A = this chain, B = another copy of it.
Amino acid sequence: MRRNTTQRMAIEEVFRQNDRPLGVDEVLAYGRKLVESLNQATVYRNLKLLVDDGRLKRVTHPSLGTMYERTGKGHHHHFYCRACNHAYELPGCALNEDEIAPDGFVVEDHDVFLFGICPSCVR
List residues of A whose CB falls within 8 A of some B CB. 59-63, 77, 79, 82, 88, 90, 92, 94-96, 99-119, 122
Contact = CB atoms under 8 A, between A and B. Distances in A.
Given A94-B100, A99-B94, A109 B114 contact: yes
A79 B117 CA distance: 26
B109 A90 contact: no
Contacts of A119: 103-105
A109 B92 CA distance: 18
18 contacts: A59-B62, A79-B101, A79-B107, A90-B105, A94-B99, A94-B101, A95-B96, A100-B114, A101-B114, A101-B116, A103-B119, A104-B118, A104-B122, A105-B114, A105-B116, A106-B117, A106-B122, A113-B113
